[in-house]
Chain A
Amino acid sequence: MKKCVFICEDDEDVLEICKLILEKHDFTVAYALTCESMFNRISVVQPDLILLDLWVPKMGGEASMKKLRADAATRHIPVIIFSANNEIEKAAARLGADDFVTKPFKIKELLTKIRNCLKVENSPETRDQLNSSPGPR
């Protein structure tokens, strides 16, 4: 069964190429251009992983991340922070993200990190443990 990756990204070009790459590599992709719409969609989509851009309109990536972690329904979903921001590594650690991907990225890097995250046992308890330690480098 194909794993579902939810991409929250406001740049349509970036969204398009990511969707293209992931679908080429046997993932199903759902997406949202704003955080608000993401929250509307994920309860329906039930994604296996979220690729979250930090600078997305309205609520913004950081607040969305906190909200995802605060909600029991979404707490278990692994999140990879996805940004052109230079502070992304720190942000990932601070927000308890599972990993991060800097923009621009290499296709291989993106796929490797997503696969690594999805291989991890997805029970909430295990993830909480992981979150308390610095993200893998």
Chain B
Amino acid sequence: MKNVSLETEEQIIVTTGSRFDRIIEKLPVAVYTCDAQGLITYYNQAAAVLWGRKPTLGRDRWCGSWRIYRLDGSLVPLDLCPMGLAIKASREILAEEIIIERPDGTRRFVLPHPEAILDAKGDLVGAVNTLVDITLYKQVQRALGESENRFIQLANHAPIVVWMGDEKGQLHYLSAKWTEMTGQPTDSGLGQGWLECVHPTERAEVSKQWSDAVRDHRTLQIKFRYRTKKNGYGMVRLVANPRYDSVSHLIGFIGVLDDVTQLEEGNAQKEHEIYARTEDLRWKNEQLRRSDERYHRMIEEVQDYAIILLNEKGIIENWNKGAEKIKGYNSKEIIGKSFHVFYPPADREKGLPDQLLAEAAANGRAIHEGWRIRKDGTKFWGSVVITALHDVDGQIIGYSKVTRDLTDRKISDDTLKAYAQALDDKIKELSEANSELLMARGQLADDRTRFILESMPHLVALASPQGVLTFSNQYLLEYTGLAAAQFRTIEWFDAIHPEDQPHFVSSWQNTQLAGIDLKIEFRLRRADGEYVWHLAIAKPIRGENGEISSWIVTLTNIHDKRIIEEKKDEFVGIASHELKTPLTSAKAFIELLENILENQGNLELYHYAKKANLAIDKLHDLISELLDITKIQHGKLQLKMSEFNLHDLVMETVDLMQVSSKKHGIYLSGQTGLIVRADRDRIQQVLVNLLGNAIKYSPDATRIDLSISCAEGEVIVGVKDYGIGIQANDLKNIFDRFYRVEDRSSIFQGLGIGLYISSEIIHRHAGRIWAKSTRGEGSNFFFAIPDNLI
């Protein structure tokens, strides 16, 4: 997924790259690149045109220009050209204007902008230089300066006051003659200041006529009394003519103020002279206007750049076709307005336009790239150079502003950035979605489990690792009539039958402590108050690291089964009792008979009676085992623990067994003094069982070995016979209930439950029982009980 996208991204870069090449090639601005040694590696068409020659790639160094001069006319060595400096300094150079000379001798003013290119490690790989041909602006600037200068010189030498005012009637120029006439500095006469010298009685009328003329763009000729330096108030004549630019747009007024005191005294000659002078001035102004116009025209012809003249306050005074093409306003709409309108509101609020003007005023030039607003409100990416224009005294009289529309380049750049950003966002979004999906899946699994548990017609609960029931399903709540909150505390133990409670609670706690499965039968109180037998099974649910995260608890109604078992127990109890009763009299009669026959010396009959007595004993044993099984099954097999000498018990049992089986010799070896704590009768029962089996299953042998040993906290008793043995696959089952090695059933009698009972007895002693056997060689049974007396 990600790789595919990266390929696409690369494709875009390649495509964009070739598009950029084409754009740069056709760019009306000269662009060229050098490698780290300064050898020219690329230049575009505009560069070749600017230089007037085509440098050889890989051989020409620093710059394609024939010669380079500083503005003061001094020659710049080629390796000290701005590009050379940028490469040597490995950085961008804010170079000053230079003059280049072509092989044909023509010269161009150029604004270079060299910038070093560094690789990712910061090492220099070359530089790129942009050369902006500013010859035209220099010429315009110089011509403007010259004509203005010429006019002012002229006006200052005129014998009358010459003034200029703007279209609103504010004077911005008064010739030196005014100071001579009024004795005041020219500054105080600017704006509306000159009206202060009008005689108070006429001032309102003069002011009104002047503003009317300004409003109606009319020529005005008016006479009034004016305060002069020499003799109080004299008579002056004001002549004002409107000024228009090349497109007949009012740009202000120009006129004279003449002392006509003497004329008023009838000097027609002088009046004529003044008229002639005024005409002369008008003519000169016209000339000035024309020369102005030529430069205006030149500028206007440029279409690819918006070239704008601003006054010193940033008010637009001139507007070329390029400006109209790029910005959409025509000159009528925009002249007289502030250049602020081109800037987006945010930039305006930050005061960017004025900052740029201030920068240009301070440094001579300000360069800026950024979004600008067209008339129709759309944006374009403008590259702007603002250059301050100065008069001969070095005073700023305005600014030239040259703007290029680089929107296409900007959009390509931004599209790429936006695409990369979008890709990044998409990947982030995807990975977030992925992890959400995982969480949701986990949640779903959890919810599904709960849903299943909830809807099951079984009693199910979940418990915390500490045994607190965190969840009880609906059926459990309904069944017990308890609230979910009661299950979350120990309150629910109250629903357990008082007789079962202590055992249940201790088992429950032990289960959690030991982390092992719980299986316990107990009586649970139903909603109707009836106690019903249940089997509780608790199994741990383990987390990834094997730690218990919760317990799942199921309760199964085993009431009927339990009742049936109780009835069965009762039945077995009664049955065994009833069976034993006739055995009691039979045994006693036989014993009586034995005694009599023995006393009479009738040994044959005595022997028969004895056999009958043994048979009764076996029958009695079988009935007892039946009862034992029932007890084991219900966990009712209880031990009567006492301390005794194991060796003594074994000897006693051997004696007992030897009475019934005289064929086998039972040989005892091992330790004699071991005292154990166990149920003496039950351990004897195990010994009887193991010895009985050994005798039973070794009909052809004559020897049985018994051993008592002690190892690692255990006392081990072994019974070894030399009989038929047990097959390996039967060995693991021999302690199971009612398991008996099949093919021997016809040969040997018995219910086959002896080993099962022995095994249960040993397990109740926390001991273990096992067997080793080889078929045909005999068996070796062992049991071990803990060697502690506590």
Which residues of A line the B interface, CB within 8 A?
11, 13-14, 16-18, 20-21, 55, 83-86, 103-107
The CA of A115 and the CA of B157, in the complex, are separated in Å by 170
Q: A13-B582, A104-B587 are known; give 6 further A-B pairs, CB within 8 A.
A: A13-B584, A86-B576, A86-B627, A103-B584, A104-B616, A105-B588
Q: Is the CB of A84 within 8 A of B580?
A: yes
Most interface-central of B576, B586, B591 (chain A CB within 10 A): B591
The CA of A11 and the CA of B589, in the complex, are separated in Å by 14
Give the contacting residue for B588; candidates A17, A85, A86; CB below 8 A: A17
- B660 CB contacts on chain A under 8 angstroms: none
- B585 CB contacts on chain A under 8 angstroms: 11, 13-14, 16-17
Q: Is the CB of B581 within 8 A of A107?
A: no
Most interface-central of A13, A20, A104, A107 (chain B CB within 10 A): A104
- B588 CB contacts on chain A under 8 angstroms: 14, 17-18, 21, 104-105, 107
- Verify if B624 is at the interface (C-beta below 8 Å from A): yes
A81: shortest Cβ distance to chain B, in Å?
14
Q: Is the CB of B592 within 8 A of A103?
A: no
Binary interface encoding of chain B residues 608-628 relative to chain A, with 1 for a CB under 8 A from any of its CBs, else 0: 000000001000100010010
The CA of A13 and the CA of B589, in the complex, are separated in Å by 10
- Of residues 331 through 363 on chain B, the ones whose CB sits less than 8 Å from some CB of chain A are none
B566: shortest Cβ distance to chain A, in Å?
15
CB-CB under 8 A for A84 and B584, given A55-B577, A104-B620? yes
Give the contacting residue for B581; candidates A86, A103, A106; CB below 8 A: A103
Q: Is the CB of A84 within 8 A of B592?
A: no
Q: Is the CB of A84 within 8 A of B587?
A: no
- B573 CB contacts on chain A under 8 angstroms: 85-86
Q: Is the CB of A20 within 8 A of B592?
A: yes
The CA of A13 and the CA of B583, in the complex, are separated in Å by 10
A-B CB proximity, top 4 nearest: A84-B580, A13-B585, A103-B584, A104-B587
The CA of A16 and the CA of B616, in the complex, are separated in Å by 19
Q: Is the CB of B583 within 8 A of A104?
A: yes
- B624 CB contacts on chain A under 8 angstroms: 86
- A85 CB contacts on chain B under 8 angstroms: 573, 577
B14: shortest Cβ distance to chain A, in Å?
98
Q: Is the CB of B581 within 8 A of A17?
A: no
A22: shortest Cβ distance to chain B, in Å?
11
Q: Is the CB of A104 within 8 A of B589?
A: no
Binary interface encoding of chain B residues 170-205 relative to chain A, with 1 for a CB under 8 A from any of its CBs, else 0: 000000000000000000000000000000000000
Chain B residues within 8 Å of chain A by Cβ, number: 20
- B627 CB contacts on chain A under 8 angstroms: 86
Residue of B nearest to A12 (CB): B585
- Verify if B595 is at the interface (C-beta below 8 Å from A): yes
A26: shortest Cβ distance to chain B, in Å?
16
> Count of A-B contacts with CB under 8 A?
56
- A21 CB contacts on chain B under 8 angstroms: 588, 592
The CA of A104 and the CA of B588, in the complex, are separated in Å by 8
A16: shortest Cβ distance to chain B, in Å?
7
Residue of A nearest to B577 (CB): A84
Residue of B nearest to A102 (CB): B580
Q: Is the CB of B584 within 8 A of A14?
A: yes
A113: shortest Cβ distance to chain B, in Å?
14
Q: List 23 A-B contacts (CB under 8 A).
A: A11-B585, A13-B581, A13-B582, A13-B585, A14-B581, A14-B585, A17-B584, A17-B592, A18-B588, A20-B592, A21-B592, A84-B577, A84-B584, A85-B577, A86-B576, A86-B624, A103-B580, A103-B581, A103-B584, A104-B580, A104-B587, A106-B591, A107-B588
Residue of A nearest to B578 (CB): A84
Q: Is the CB of B581 within 8 A of A11?
A: yes
B632: shortest Cβ distance to chain A, in Å?
13
- Of residues 617 through 661 on chain B, the ones whose CB sits less than 8 Å from some CB of chain A are 620, 624, 627
CB-CB under 8 A for A103 and B583, given A84-B577, A85-B577? yes
A3: shortest Cβ distance to chain B, in Å?
20
Give the contacting residue for A84; candidates B581, B586, B595, B616; CB below 8 A: B581
Most interface-central of B576, B582, B588 (chain A CB within 10 A): B588
B609: shortest Cβ distance to chain A, in Å?
13
B568: shortest Cβ distance to chain A, in Å?
16
The CA of A14 and the CA of B582, in the complex, are separated in Å by 7
The CA of A84 and the CA of B616, in the complex, are separated in Å by 14
The CA of A13 and the CA of B587, in the complex, are separated in Å by 11
B639: shortest Cβ distance to chain A, in Å?
13
The CA of A17 and the CA of B585, in the complex, are separated in Å by 6
The CA of A98 and the CA of B540, in the complex, are separated in Å by 51
A31: shortest Cβ distance to chain B, in Å?
14
- Of residues 512 through 551 on chain B, the ones whose CB sits less than 8 Å from some CB of chain A are none
Residue of B nearest to A87 (CB): B573
Residue of B nearest to A53 (CB): B581
Residue of B nearest to A15 (CB): B585
- B589 CB contacts on chain A under 8 angstroms: 17
A57: shortest Cβ distance to chain B, in Å?
13
- B582 CB contacts on chain A under 8 angstroms: 11, 13
Q: Is the CB of B584 within 8 A of A107?
A: no
A92: shortest Cβ distance to chain B, in Å?
13
Give the contacting residue for A107; candidates B576, B586, B592, B620; CB below 8 A: B592
The CA of A20 and the CA of B592, in the complex, are separated in Å by 9
The CA of A89 and the CA of B278, in the complex, are separated in Å by 155
The CA of A82 and the CA of B132, in the complex, are separated in Å by 131
The CA of A11 and the CA of B580, in the complex, are separated in Å by 11
- B620 CB contacts on chain A under 8 angstroms: 104
A91: shortest Cβ distance to chain B, in Å?
13
Binary interface encoding of chain B residues 158-176 relative to chain A, with 1 for a CB under 8 A from any of its CBs, else 0: 0000000000000000000
- Of residues 449 through 477 on chain B, the ones whose CB sits less than 8 Å from some CB of chain A are none
A97: shortest Cβ distance to chain B, in Å?
17
Q: Is the CB of B595 within 8 A of A104?
A: no
B641: shortest Cβ distance to chain A, in Å?
14
The CA of A85 and the CA of B573, in the complex, are separated in Å by 8
B684: shortest Cβ distance to chain A, in Å?
14
A93: shortest Cβ distance to chain B, in Å?
11
Binary interface encoding of chain B residues 546-585 relative to chain A, with 1 for a CB under 8 A from any of its CBs, else 0: 0000000000000000000000000001001100111111
The CA of A55 and the CA of B587, in the complex, are separated in Å by 20
- A13 CB contacts on chain B under 8 angstroms: 581-582, 584-585
- A107 CB contacts on chain B under 8 angstroms: 588, 591-592, 595
The CA of A107 and the CA of B595, in the complex, are separated in Å by 10
- B586 CB contacts on chain A under 8 angstroms: 104
The CA of A83 and the CA of B591, in the complex, are separated in Å by 19
A30: shortest Cβ distance to chain B, in Å?
19
B734: shortest Cβ distance to chain A, in Å?
26
- B576 CB contacts on chain A under 8 angstroms: 84, 86
The CA of A18 and the CA of B581, in the complex, are separated in Å by 13
Q: Is the CB of B592 within 8 A of A105?
A: no
The CA of A104 and the CA of B585, in the complex, are separated in Å by 7
B171: shortest Cβ distance to chain A, in Å?
135
B622: shortest Cβ distance to chain A, in Å?
13
The CA of A83 and the CA of B580, in the complex, are separated in Å by 9
B683: shortest Cβ distance to chain A, in Å?
16
The CA of A20 and the CA of B596, in the complex, are separated in Å by 13
- A84 CB contacts on chain B under 8 angstroms: 576-577, 580-581, 584
- A16 CB contacts on chain B under 8 angstroms: 585
- A20 CB contacts on chain B under 8 angstroms: 592
The CA of A18 and the CA of B592, in the complex, are separated in Å by 11
A21: shortest Cβ distance to chain B, in Å?
7
The CA of A106 and the CA of B585, in the complex, are separated in Å by 11
A50: shortest Cβ distance to chain B, in Å?
18
A11: shortest Cβ distance to chain B, in Å?
5
- B595 CB contacts on chain A under 8 angstroms: 107
- A14 CB contacts on chain B under 8 angstroms: 581, 584-585, 588
A80: shortest Cβ distance to chain B, in Å?
14
